Amino acid sequence: MLPARFSVVSSLLFMALSHPVYAHHVSGQASHVMTHRGLPWTWAAVVLTFMGLCGVWAVFAPASRTAKARYLSLATLPVLGPWIRVLTNSPWPQLVLRIAFVALFLLVIVAGLFGNPLAERNLATVLTWNLWWTGVVISVFFLGTAWCGVCPWDALASWLVRRRLWRRGKANSSLNLKVPQWLQSVLPALLLFIGLSWLELGVGVTESPFATALLALLMITLATLSLAIFERKAFCRYFCPVGRTVGFYAQLAPVELRAIDGEVCANCTTLDCYHGNTDIEPCPTHLVVGRLKQNTYCTSCGACTRSCPQDNVSWRLRPMSSEAIEGARPHWDEAWFMLALLTLTSFHGLTMVLPWDDWIEALAHAIGESGSLLWSFSIGLAGSLLLVSLLYLVVVHVTRLLAGRSTPFKRLFSGLAFTLLPLAFAYHLAHNLNHVVRESAGLNEVLANPLGTGAAALTMMERHARHLALLIPENLLFALQTGLLMFGFWIAVQVLRHRGRGLVVTGQVFAGRRLVPMLLFMVGITALNIWLMMEPMAVRVY
């Protein structure tokens, strides 16, 4: 049986163009899809009104002034500080968490490979697609890039290649080749992100525990091969779609790992945070704490906190989104990632509303496709990415005309891309909150029987019972979603007003009508996301 199953899923993942697994888009299937209730229009009206008021304020309010952000180092607090130092300077708390997540991850793989093929009865699909990704995104809101510090992909790769639980591996444990120049950007991670979205939404791996397990094994393989071939952790820095998404979202987080005293770092001559020492690995993503300005590439691995001879690195609190508003530096490849992140986040929601089925079927009819409709889905995915990109390019061009042609286009393109992060993050949280609140019923049954041994398919009565079992009251869910959408738009407005100061030539003011093109783009994206939230949404797993 096992070789046959491997053959089937290999076809699912690598020859999907001829494999009819995209069941959600098959003609005639939409009427059988169970959906969640959408956001009521009254809540949507609150968001729209708020956006209108913010837009008017942004245009007519005086240009923003630079305000010095205030920070609070947790290590300097009177009672909590010593405990923070113990937790960050000792490898054991992090190691225990890594072992726990690795054990759970391996259980997911075993359940996917050998367990019940029913998605709603198997831990692999329920945990991965209903809880894990939502939990990761929510964790960014409070803990920044903390997930990367306990990532099971990196843990397993490190243990396999370095052959150490946490201490520095031998010099010959990797080829330590320099990453080729053409790979030194986040574009490889972007391509993987698009590919994973294609597998999740187009091929339908969310409906197959076995395919989910194979996808997990693929990510371990990529992380391990990268660590065995390239210096430090090239997978985390350049290739990992989850890590790069977490890194960009972490620009909005209220926490950061930074130096306690800047003068200590300024006078440092050893740079152990960068080079490591005899026991501690060097920074996996080539960062120097004394010059660290953004969370994007920090993996919260703890190497700098444990290697610093002056004990000068710790977590600190900061104003929410201060990094995205003013701190992070714009780069061309990062701007494209943020733009694609915005598009793919909304695209996920688009594929789960019922009109999507009609659109894909109409496209399939136009191109003469039948069966899985995977070509039609792929065209829809590519078209969405292209459409949003073209709209953004036009908006940046018009903004440049209003701001003066002396501002380089690439600089404006990259700088304004930071306005896209809070829009994507807010909708990502609001959308995934729907899944975790509405689709967590029955989790206890899956945890009690991770492989789903002997479990039958859910009856219609059981499906409806789960459908009605929300973790929190529905009105509270709507209020949280509404608050998130308003929060995202407000932060985007703040980013636009503050970022604009550094994007125009000296002596000019980036305010008033010069903000209008980007404001209209932001309003359009948020209005689309509101509509997606209002539409009944298809249930993901069960």
Q: Which amino acid is at 492?
A: A
Dihedral pair phi/psi, residue 254, rounded to 5°: -90, 10
Residues 6 or more apart in contact with residue 333 via CB below 8 angstroms? 185, 186, 187, 190
Q: What one-character-per-residue DSSP string does 180-220 give?
A: PGGG-SSHHHHHHHHHHHIIIIII-GGG-HHHHHHHHHHHH
Helix axes 332-350, 187-197, angle to 10 degrees: 10
What residues pair up with 259 in beta bridges, in sequence order? 313
Which pLDDT does position 507 carry in this prediction? Answer: 52
Residue 506 parent element (H or E): none
- Residue 149 and residue 289: Cα distance in Å, rounded? 16
Q: Which residues contact 248 (CB under 8 A, 6 or more apart)?
A: 296, 334, 337, 338, 341, 421
Please measure the distance between the N-terminal and C-terminal CA atoms of the chain and give it in whole angstroms.
25
Contacts of 311 (CB under 8 A, 6+ apart): 85, 89
- Report the 10 Å Cβ neighbour count for 92: 10
Strand partners, 230: 177
Measured CA to CA, the distance from residue 267 to residue 472 in angstroms comes to 52
How confident is the model at residue 474, as a pLDDT?
92
| Alpha-carbon dihedral 154, 155, 160, 166, rounded to 10 degrees | 120
DSSP 293: -
- Report the residue count for the chain: 542
217: CB partners within 8 A, 6+ apart = 109
Q: Which segments of the chain have a pLDDT < 50? A: 1-31
The pair phi, psi for residue 272, each rounded to 5°, is -65, -30
Cα 420 to chain centroid distance, Å, stands at: 13
pLDDT at site 67: 63
What per-residue confidence (pLDDT) applies to 147?
95
Exposed e or buried b for every residue in 484-516, given b needs 16+ CB within 10 A? bbbbbbbbbbbbbbbbbbebbeeeeebbeebbb
Q: How far is CA 391 from the centre of its chain?
A: 23
CB atoms within 10 A of CB 4: 8
pLDDT of residue 1: 37
Are 377 and 202 in contact by the 8 Å Cβ rule? The answer is yes
